[in-house]
Structure 1
Amino acid sequence: MRKKPFWTLALAMVFLLSMVLVACNSGGGGIKKDTGTTLIYGRGADAKKLDPIQVTDGESLKVTGMIYDTLVQYKDENTEIQPGLAEKWESSPDGKVWTFHLRKNVKFHDGTPFNADAVVFNFERWMDKNHPQHKGGEFTYYPDMFGGYKGDKDHVIKAVTKVDDYTVKFELNRPIGPFLANLAMPPFAIGSPTAIKKDPEKFNENPVGTGPFKFKEWKKNDTITLEKNPDYWDKGYPKVDKLIFKSIPDNAARFTALKSGDIDIMDGMNPSDVAQVQQDKKLQLFKQQGMNVAYLSFNMKKKPLDNPKVRQAINYAVDKKRIISNFYAGLAEPAVNPYPSFMLGYNKDVKDYEFNLDKAKQLLKEAGFEKGLKLKLYAPQDPRPYLPNGKKVAEFLKEDFKKIGIDVEIVTFEWKTYQEKVKSGEHELALYGWNGDNGDPDNFLYVLLDKNNAREKDASNISYYTSEEVHKLLVEAQSSIDQNKRVELYKKAQEIIKQDAPWVPLVHATVPIAGKAEIKGFFPHPTSTYKLHKVSVEKKN
């Protein structure tokens, strides 16, 4: 008889618990929207550093773009410029003086104020090698986009000065056509001076910006976790409370994680999986415009790749159409020039090297290598947006190169190590690529092929191509604010580059990205730096 009150009490507790659960799940039809949600982004490799000025890789910049803000920014779907931390700006008629008017009442994540002093500090840190906080690694993008560092012959920026607390003036040594486009690039985001001064060496592991998310935790080669900035200046964003970047190196494993619900969105798809996504009602496919190039680089500092006939021969031995068919499922177009045809100044009159093994053999014979030669081909292990499977492409190239007497040894590394090795010039041949940062041809031709960027330890021009004629054309084009003049200069540069053959331009890839059907507000930006703070996820309970 004593058990009856016990069971009665137990049943009452179960009923009470069920009522609590119903109350928690009501008001949304079983769907939990925005508040309390987490967006998990799956990608093929981890970030290198989280100080944006010290990296060039997309994996790092995807993350830093959510922690920091730039003075100006790109629109959601293209590279047109709109306000960022600067609300408005104006320039002198000759393009050599720019004045930016900053947003007020913006704070860094550490609570310190964003103002003109912060902007001046960041630019002085970047441009001056003797600045006390010019530490933590290489500042690669600064010389790439602004002609070197303070004191260098071609350096663009003469001075950055404070006019008042919320006004900054830039004085340039010469005008630069893509100046605003450059400032919108993620590497030129503004970091907290207080946090940088505290420990410039470790700032890349403890990032502090003004962006939509605050840094919380980094588990190397696994996850980077960011949390919502409730005081973000762009009201209404971010749409989710937590953003997690999850590293899953294998494309197939990442796709499985998406289908099982472990991640919400992913890049680095195997192109062969695109049809499966399109047929699955639980998933959706995004296609990113191919503002990129995958290429085979020749290290022209090493023999016999200093011989133009050897480089031209290898160009004739590459079957781009079969590469696209076998490894891109048709989601790419053959690359003729270093940047895609929809961009300013593309030269449609430049003719590509046809796939012709006999012509390749003849050129090798003329170069003195009738009996063949041996070369090492570096290939990345990790997928890139422009190169979904570098090792497979390398194996494909090896077979055709063998037919013309070139014996290739394939060497692979994980992405971080791979970048360090090719940017230090260790390779002979290297499969590499570039995703455009700002929609301007300067960002391809000057960054990747100008002599100023053939640096010994941290080259962006990994072919070490040093044409004086091309250099003059690129600097003149960069320094002009006349778009018609820039077009003609870029067209001429492309003709010379094609003849000199520092690369084999392979493909411009359309990048497939897959997400759950519940993903809303995602736009696959052509720069590959996505505004994930505008994405919402409808979570099913």
Structure 2
Amino acid sequence: MVFAQAQDAVTLDPHLATDGFSVNNTSNVFDTLVRYKVDTTAVEPSLAESWTVSPDGLVWTFKLRSGIKFHDGTPFNAEAVKFNYDRQVDPKNPYHTGSFDYAEFTFQNVKSVEAVDPLTVRFILSARFAPFLINMAMFSTGIASPTAIRKYGPDFFKNPVGTGPFKFVEWVEKDHVTYEANKDYWAGRPCIDRLIIRGIPDNTVRLLEMERGSVQMMDQVNPPDYDRIRSNKDLVLYTGPGLNVGYLAMNTQNPPFNDRRVRQAVSYAVNKAALVQAFYGGIAQPAKNPMPPTIWGYNDSVQDYGYDVSKAKQLLAEAGFPNGIDTELWWPNRARPYLTQPQKIAEALQQQLSQAGIRAKLVTFEWGTYLKKTREAEHPMAILGWIGDNGDPDNFLYVLLDKDNAKIGTS
């Protein structure tokens, strides 16, 4: 089967992945201790067949499945779980070669991990942490072969070895990754023998490949093509509630966006309802919270900024910019669930902002470079987004807004 997405993977190491394109790959190679049930964020056993928690909530003990082997034939056990944890959180660990951006979030409040016996592993927390168990189902906690990590060192990101349903075969970078079925998979042999994940940047081109039969599955369809798919008896369109949010990031470290009034002016200048209607087929909804309404704890009483060009101009003048500002608007050149048609949306934003005197030059980069530059806070304004990892509001509020992550170099 050939699955087409908008971008090739950046990495095949689950501990280093921060983008959905990479995760679509790693999730087929690596298993986690627990996993999400189909169509929910409730967890069920995976590599761990059961678990208990102490009355004070500080000690989580997992009983592991027996007889599981990594794709290289080495055994999965408690020492492998501890090895993977230590690699991510200990900067002095010889295999801590990378940024491991998710580790601080995923293992928040985890003080240590102990291999009690070959099939028992214990996580010791410094304080109760409500999302701990669902975090253990996140892609970034995928268990990799310690032998393979030692063998490949910093090149493990292109030589992945896990316990998952598919084994890595080859990676032709910027084109495709090939996998073969793990015939001995503990949860049952996959129903397909071979999986190829291709990067095809243009949504329309991906759909054409589907219609020709050279691709069997794709994501991120242009909303205007929904009816075209529905009318084709050979294609099926799957839809569901979104677990993501798109946003416009403004760099508050540098003028003019260090002035709150300028940031507010941008908010008033953007007509979100018009963008939803024009580029999302009317199925999205304007965001007024940093998390989507599908997440529990969503506060629908929050009052959104209205679309008010005059108010935007007034705020710019109060901030000392009566003639407006010149800046840059960065946009990612790859479609995302929260950004169906990147260039067209960026151009529409540019036009809307210009009505308020915010003259923005459009700038884009290759996907990996875009992520790196925005992490390093090189952008004035940038279109970004967040796809929920675990269904918990902490995954949005902490990751996007907490001071731990409001620093250069974080995702």
**How would you bin the TM-score normalised by the shorter chain?**
over 0.9
One-letter amino acid matched to 2:269: A
**Is this contact kept in 1: 2:106–2:141, CA < 8 A?**
no
**Is this contact kept in 2: 1:381–1:389, CA < 8 A?**
no
User: 1: distance between equivalents of 2:202 and 2:72?
Assistant: 36
User: 1: distance between equivalents of 2:377 and 2:142?
Assistant: 28
Shift of 1:55: 1.3
The question of 1:181 aligning with 2:134 is answered yes
User: 2: distance between equivalents of 1:115 and 1:146?
Assistant: 19
Shift of 1:74: 0.2
Unaligned runs of at least 5 residues, structure 2: none
**Is this contact kept in 2: 1:145–1:443, CA < 8 A?**
no
What is the aligned counterpart of 2:337 among 382, 385, 389? Answer: 385
The question of 1:171 aligning with 2:124 is answered yes
Shift of 1:394: 1.4
Shift of 1:124: 0.7
Shift of 1:355: 0.4
User: 1: distance between equivalents of 2:213 and 2:20?
Assistant: 24
The question of 1:229 aligning with 2:182 is answered yes
In structure 2, the partner of 1:513 is: none
- Cα deviation, 1:41-73, whole Å, max 9, x if unaligned, reads 011100001111111100001110000000000
SS where residue 274 of structure 1 aligns?
helix
One-letter amino acid matched to 2:326: K
User: 2: distance between equivalents of 1:363 and 1:370?
Assistant: 9
The question of 1:94 aligning with 2:56 is answered yes
Shift of 1:145: 3.2
Shift of 1:288: 2.9
- Cα deviation, 1:228-283, whole Å, max 9, x if unaligned, reads 10110002x31100000011111111100000000001112111101111111111
Kindly report which structure 2 residues correspond to 1:339-378, keeping only aligned pairs within 5 A, or say none.
339-378=291-330
User: 1: distance between equivalents of 2:65 and 2:358?
Assistant: 59
In structure 2, the partner of 1:144 is: 105
Shift of 1:347: 1.2
In structure 2, the partner of 1:123 is: 85
Shift of 1:331: 2.0
Kindly report which structure 2 residues correspond to 1:454-493, keeping only aligned pairs within 5 A, or say none.
454-457=406-409, 459-460=410-411
SS where residue 28 of structure 2 aligns?
helix
Shift of 1:390: 1.8
SS where residue 316 of structure 2 aligns?
helix
- Cα deviation, 1:297-323, whole Å, max 9, x if unaligned, reads 111111111111111111011101110
SS where residue 375 of structure 1 aligns?
strand
In structure 2, the partner of 1:77 is: 39
The question of 1:314 aligning with 2:314 is answered no
Kindly report which structure 2 residues correspond to 1:69-468, keeping only aligned pairs within 5 A, or say none.
69-135=31-97, 137-147=98-108, 156-235=109-188, 237-457=189-409, 459-460=410-411
User: 1: distance between equivalents of 2:351 and 2:193?
Assistant: 50
Shift of 1:414: 2.0
User: 1: distance between equivalents of 2:23 and 2:133?
Assistant: 18
Q: Kindly report the root-mean-square deviation, in angstroms, between the aligned alpha carbons of the 2 structures.
A: 1.0
One-letter amino acid matched to 1:281: K
User: 2: distance between equivalents of 1:400 and 1:341?
Assistant: 26
- Cα deviation, 1:395-437, whole Å, max 9, x if unaligned, reads 1111121111111011011211111111111101000111101
- Cα deviation, 1:303-362, whole Å, max 9, x if unaligned, reads 111111111111011101110111111121111101112312111211000001111111
SS where residue 338 of structure 1 aligns?
coil
Higher relative contact order (CA 8 A, sep 6+): 1
Task: Report the structure number with the largest CA radius of gyration.
Answer: 1
One-letter amino acid matched to 2:270: V
SS where residue 452 of structure 1 aligns?
coil
SS where residue 12 of structure 2 aligns?
coil
SS where residue 163 of structure 2 aligns?
coil
Shift of 1:295: 0.5
SS where residue 158 of structure 1 aligns?
strand
- Cα deviation, 1:86-137, whole Å, max 9, x if unaligned, reads 00001112211100000000000000000000001100111101111101x2
**Is this contact kept in 1: 2:250–2:381, CA < 8 A?**
yes
In structure 2, the partner of 1:67 is: 29
- Cα deviation, 1:343-385, whole Å, max 9, x if unaligned, reads 1211121100000111111111111111211111100111111
User: 2: distance between equivalents of 1:102 and 1:295?
Assistant: 40
| Identical-pair percentage | 48
**Is this contact kept in 1: 2:152–2:159, CA < 8 A?**
no
SS where residue 434 of structure 1 aligns?
strand
One-letter amino acid matched to 2:285: E
Shift of 1:188: 0.7
Number of residue equivalences? 411
SS where residue 202 of structure 1 aligns?
helix
**Is this contact kept in 1: 2:242–2:294, CA < 8 A?**
no
Shift of 1:386: 1.1
**Is this contact kept in 1: 2:164–2:185, CA < 8 A?**
yes
**Is this contact kept in 2: 1:144–1:453, CA < 8 A?**
no
User: 1: distance between equivalents of 2:408 and 2:387?
Assistant: 22
One-letter amino acid matched to 1:42: A
User: 2: distance between equivalents of 1:205 and 1:317?
Assistant: 44
SS where residue 320 of structure 2 aligns?
coil
